[in-house]
Structure formats: C-alpha cells, structure tokens
A and B are shown apart, each in its own frame.
Chain A
Amino acid sequence: MTSVAEAPVARVERRLLDGELGLDAHLARHGRLPVLDGSQIIGMARDAGLTGRGGAGFPVWRKLSAVAAGGGAAVVVANGAEGEPASKKDRALLAYQPNLVLDGLQLVATATTAEGAHLYAPKAALPALRALLAARAAAGLDRRPVTLHAAPDAFVSGEESAVVSAINGRGAVPADKRIRVVQAGVGGAPTLVQNVETLAHLALIARYGAGWFLSAGTPDEPGTFLATISGAVRRPGVVEAGYGVPLGELIAAAGGATMHLQAVLIGGYHGGWVPADPALPVSRQTLQPYGASPGAGVIVALPAGACGLGETARITGYLAEQVAGQCGPCINGLPRMAATLADLAARRPRAGLAAEAERLARLVSGRGACHHPDGTARLVLSAMRIFEADVAAHLNGRCLAAEGQR
C-alpha cells in the first residue's frame, strides 16, 4: 500500500465536469479534436492507463485493439443507460458536458474504423442530444453520424449485451456470452460498448495527453472518476475526484455527513459495504480486501441508527425484482436470497439462516448470462461480513441499530 509520504495527488478535482454549458463554450475551452489516427488513439488510451468507468474497470486500449483487429465494419456504442438507481453521474455528464462524450465516441470510431456510431441513453436525455448533434453537424464536427437509442429504465438495460440487443431491436436483455460483442454485436459486426464517462475522459486525453491524465489518481489507477454520493450526506450529488481520494474527502465534497456514519456502500448495488473510515482511499487496490471496488463510482453513506441488514435486504429485494427472466439460477436464486435477507433483517430467525444467505450467494455466482447474480451475491456477502455483529444480534431477536448501539 502507498504510504502517506508518497501518496500521489488524489483529491477532489474537476476535469470532466468543469466549464460552461454549450457547444460554443466547449469549443472555446477545448478546441476541436486534434487529428489522430487509430494507432495514435489506442496508444494514448494505453499510455494513459484509461479504464472503463461503467463498472468493470477494463483497460480501454485492449478492447479498442480487439475491435480494431476484427477488421472492417465495426460499430461503436456510447453507453449512457445508467440503470443503477443510486447512480446519477452519466445523466449529469450527458446534461452538462455531452460534447466530451460525443468527441470520445468519434475517437473510438476512428480507432476501430467503425462505420456505425450509437448513443444509448435514458429517453429524457435524447431531445437535447438530438439538438446538439444537429449543431455539431452544422459545425462540421462529427465525421460519423450518431444514432440515438432510448435505454429502458431497468437495472440490467445497460449491460453490454443488453445494450447490443436493444440496438438490434430485440429488447434490452442480456445474451449468452459464448460469442462476445467485440466479436459479433450490433448487426453482427464487431462492437465496442463503452461507458459515456470513459469516452469523455478519452476526449480530454486526446487534447491534453496521457501525461496530463496521469497527473491525477494513483500510479496504478490514474485519472479522475465521477462519484455519485447519496445517503446521509448534506448535498447528495455528483463529485469528481482522482482514484485514491480518501473517502472522507468525497463525503466532505458532498456537504459532509448529516450524522455519524457506520458504513458506506461503494460500487453501487453490485458493490460492497466498507467501514466509514474517512482515511480509506477509494481505489480498486484499497477496496479489494472488502470485496468492493469503485465500480461506477456509486457511494451510499449509511448513518448510525439505520440497520445495515435492513438496507441490504431492501436493495437485494430490488435486485431480485430486476432479474431479466432468462436464467434459472438467477430467476430462482435471487428471490430466494432476497427472502432470506428479509427474514434476517426482520428478525425472523431460524436455524442456519445466516449460513443459508451465504450458501445462496455462492450458489448463484457465475451462473447467469450476465453478472447480475454475481453482483448481487457480492453485496450480500459483504453485508454478512461487515454487519457480522448485527447478524448475531438479529439471530437473537435484537437489533443494534434500533437499540442505538451503531
């Protein structure tokens, strides 16, 4: 772990969300995209160490190379679905700095020699984007026309294969992964699906260089990320910071905690619970011991007095409702897991209740067309660990939060 002395700049810092609104302001501030060829774009993404901001954190240059190697008529997709209820950052980005996303989309189209470019986002965001695309066309900005698609409001609608299926006109449900979308996606063409924030970072890297990008974040996890902070904070909303930013600084940037915090959910509904330690750096490396990761930057602060098991049961119930009814272990396992958590939260103890929650979590993991069961299991397992004392109390018919002991 990095010691305090050698800790790099990892502070709240505005890059994406800086600047005035509108195309004129965008061009005045950042100028037009420099002319770059495909290998230059892929090289810059690699040198910058840019990773996906949609949750999985996969290196962008590798996906770009894979799709470029597919040869010929590739397709690129900007994914702004943001099906996660606790996330607001992609909506914020599309509302305040959509030009960065559209610039990034053109860059990845060039890098993969794509013919088709698509932007997939919630319906409410589309009218403004349509007007902006027209203004950009009039300014001679976009070499490839961009097609807009409405993302349904469902948790799994932003999963990569669901995005492809939606654009193919078959409904936003995930597909089997034996053939990956980078091989055959939209219209059967090699397809690159990239989160809108990832594309916006690429648009800045193309202008200011990999070295500039590396000056934020940690050496292993460079750059800034958008965090959506909610729960027991004074000003819930979207904050931008370098990876490795201490949790306390993120909370402070959201106006500070409204009361003492007992735990924080990081990485969203597919994420993990971590202790509310203000010094905890938010990075993959430091969160991994908790089974968590920054994911798509969702942070939910749980106040003292709230029951972590109750909150986990509520989220698990929601996730069980969001199952795209396709895969047996997910269709059956998630509702069962939710019911088990609900019993635990409501202090309806029975023999083996806690062990049953963990068994189900392990049983469903890896057994679906998408990672929805795995993500749900991760949340449940992290809750069983961090709320261990609450589990023990609930099994004895008591609740530490209700008794004011948390």
Chain B
Amino acid sequence: MKLHVDWTACDGRGVCTELLEEVLVEDDWGFPVARDGQRSPTVPPPLEAAARQAVDRCPMLALKLRSR
C-alpha cells in the first residue's frame, strides 16, 4: 500500500508523523515527509494497521491509503 497526502488539506499538526514514525517524519514546518523520499511513500505490510489508524485520525482527512 501507498500513503497519499492531500497537500491542499493537510495542516501539518503532525498526528500522522507520531502514529507512523517508521514511515513519516516532520519537515522544517511540521508537515509529513516520507523517510523513503517518495511522493507517495510505500507502507510495508506490518505497518498497514498503523497507517490505517493514521488515516482515520488525521483531523483534516488529508491521508489516504491506496493500492498503487
């Protein structure tokens, strides 16, 4: 699975970077940035549950999981 950020919605408060610190870190301004440097970072299977939680908890509904 891949994680998609809708940048027009994300407010950079960093709920996702806490829940999914293996995949995301905060940039200079608090916005999520992928550790793997990808536009839509790959979520390894063991982290899919955590990724779903981040998607559900994102206050701006800015995160989506997609299969490709």
Contacts and interface: CB of A to CB of B under 8 A. Distances in A.
Interface of A: 174-176, 178, 326-330, 332-333, 336, 363, 366-369
B15 interface: no
B33 A326 contact: no
Given A366-B39, A367-B39, A329 B31 contact: yes
9 contacts: A176-B7, A326-B8, A327-B8, A329-B29, A332-B31, A333-B28, A363-B27, A366-B39, A367-B31
Interface residues of B, number: 19
A175 B39 CA distance: 16
Query: Main SS of the interface on chain A?
Result: loop
B32 to A, nearest CB: 9
Contact of B12 (A174, A178, A328, A363): A328
Contacts of A369: 6-8
B7 A329 contact: yes
Q: Kindly name the residue among A178, A326, A329, A366 whose own CB sees the greatest number of chain B CB atoms within 10 A.
A: A329
Nearest to A325: B8
A156 to B, nearest CB: 12
Interface string B1-30: 000111111111000000000000001111
B34 to A, nearest CB: 9
Contacts of B28: 332-333, 336, 363
Contacts of B6: 176, 178, 369
A330 B8 CA distance: 10
B27 to A, nearest CB: 6
A227 B64 CA distance: 40
A333 B33 CA distance: 13
A367 B33 CA distance: 8
Q: Which 10 A-B pairs have the closest CB atoms?
A: A327-B7, A366-B39, A328-B31, A176-B6, A332-B29, A326-B8, A328-B12, A369-B8, A369-B7, A368-B7
Listed residue (B7, B9, B12, B30) with the most chain A CB atoms within 10 angstroms of its CB: B7
